[in-house]
Structure formats: structure tokens, C-alpha cells
Chains A and B, each alone.
Chain A
Amino acid sequence: AQSVTQLGSHVSVSEGALVLLRCNYSSSVPPYLFWYVQYPNQGLQLLLKYTSAATLVKGINGFEAEFKKSETSFHLTKPSAHMSDAAEYFCAVSDVYQGAQKLVFGQGTRLTINP
């Protein structure tokens, strides 16, 4: 079965600093990986996804993630944090559950941006 581990339930960075949110996965097959963002009291919005094309994936709002098979990682980065990036971020791997697609989520990382 697939699994996802997000290192750090809370990350705090200063405005303008690098954002790095860590995600490691466990998968017995080539994975499909996703990052979702959740703003307060809102639903989940797709930031980006990896589907075995380019290992560096660019998403919305200036975020990108790099798939590293040797490290089983899919860390999310943004060069310069904005106040509007404050949210909870979820890494997920696609799995098949009883023949149907499902997402296995990490525990989430809450990102705080300090002025």
C-alpha cells in the first residue's frame, strides 16, 4: 500500500524567504504524486502533480516540486514566500483501492508567513 509522510506539521518562514515543505512517499509502483493547498475554511486546491513526465513540476502561485526517485521524495518549494501563501499543504499519492482511484494523504503541513 502507498503511504505519504510530511516532515513537520508546522513550518514558519519570513516573507521573502524560501519555502520548503517536505514530502516522502512509499510506493511499490511508479507513483503519481500531488500537492494540494487548503486556505482557511476552504476546500483543497491542486497546486501541482507529478505523472512520470518531467521530474521538476511547476505549479500555480510560483510553487514547484521535484520528484526524486532515489530519495522517494517530492518536496514542495517556492523561492520567495508571500503572506498569501499562509495555508495548510497536503502531499498525496494516488493509489488504487478495490479497483478505484483514491488519494493517500500525508498529515498536512501548516505554513505560517512572518512579516
Chain B
Amino acid sequence: NAGVTQTPKFQVLKTGQSMTLQCAQDMNHEYMSWYRQDPGMGLRLIHYSVGAGITDQGEVPNGYNVSRSTTEDFPLRLLSAAPSQTSVYFCASSLGGSGNTIYFGEGSWLTVV
């Protein structure tokens, strides 16, 4: 009953460091995405993927990379962390299609100092 699993849950980075947030889902969903949550702004789409080998940019992609080598995994890479990337990151998956439920992971709290 895992659903969407994200690691790590908490991370502190220094400015300029790189890191990868891991995301895996076991529901055989084709569609996966990454959002960031900032106070008073709801969630904003960073990158998304509609299937293995296919990724595209969302609304706020700068400073992030993604890849989708398998249906299950969708890691998010911070290339050179900046304080503006301090946020809560959520991975999500769904079957795709406008009416389908999007399932979210537990979130990753990232602080860049």
C-alpha cells in the first residue's frame, strides 16, 4: 500500500550544492510530476512526465532537472541549490486525464542556507 514514496523527508543544503529528491510510485501510473509548495502560493508545477522517456517543463522549471528512465521512478535534481529553492517539494502521480485523481507523496522539506 505504498502509493507515492519520496525521499528524503528533510534536507538542509548549502548554497551551490546539488542533490536529488527521489520519487517512486507503485500504481503503474504513466503520469508523474513534481510540485513545489510555498506559503500563500499553493502548489506550482516544476516538471512532469507522461511516460517513461518523456519529460517536460512545468511553470517553474529553472534550476531543476528530471529524468524518467522507468515508469516507477521520477527523480528531481537540484543542480546548484539557491536559497530561493527553499520549499516543500511534492511528487505526484496519476493515470492522466482531467478527471483522474492525482496522488501525492508525503513531501520533502528542503532548506538551502
A residues near B, CB below 8 A?
A: 4, 9, 32, 34, 36, 41-46, 49, 51-52, 90, 92, 94-103, 105-108
Q: Are B107 and A102 in contact (CB under 8 A)?
A: no
Q: Can you list 21 residue pairs at the A/B interface with Cβ under 8 Å? A: A32-B98, A32-B99, A34-B101, A41-B107, A43-B4, A43-B105, A43-B106, A49-B101, A51-B99, A96-B98, A97-B48, A98-B56, A100-B96, A101-B31, A101-B94, A101-B98, A102-B45, A102-B58, A105-B42, A105-B43, A107-B42
Judged by a CB distance under 8 angstroms, whether B102 is at the interface is yes
Report the separation of the CA atoms of residues A100 and B42 in the bound assembly, to the nearest whole angstrom: 19
List the A side residues contacting B25 at CB < 8 Å.
none
Q: Are B42 and A46 in contact (CB under 8 A)?
A: no
Question: Which of A45, A92, A94 has the most CB atoms of chain B within a 10 A radius of its CB?
Answer: A94
CB distance from B86 to the nearest CB of A (A): 16
Known: A32-B98, A51-B99, A102-B33. Is A43-B48 also a contact (CB below 8 A)?
Answer: no
Judged by a CB distance under 8 angstroms, whether B84 is at the interface is no
Q: Are B41 and A107 in contact (CB under 8 A)?
A: yes
Q: Are A100 and B43 in contact (CB under 8 A)?
A: no
Q: Are A102 and B42 in contact (CB under 8 A)?
A: no
List the B side residues contacting A97 at CB < 8 Å.
45, 48, 58-59
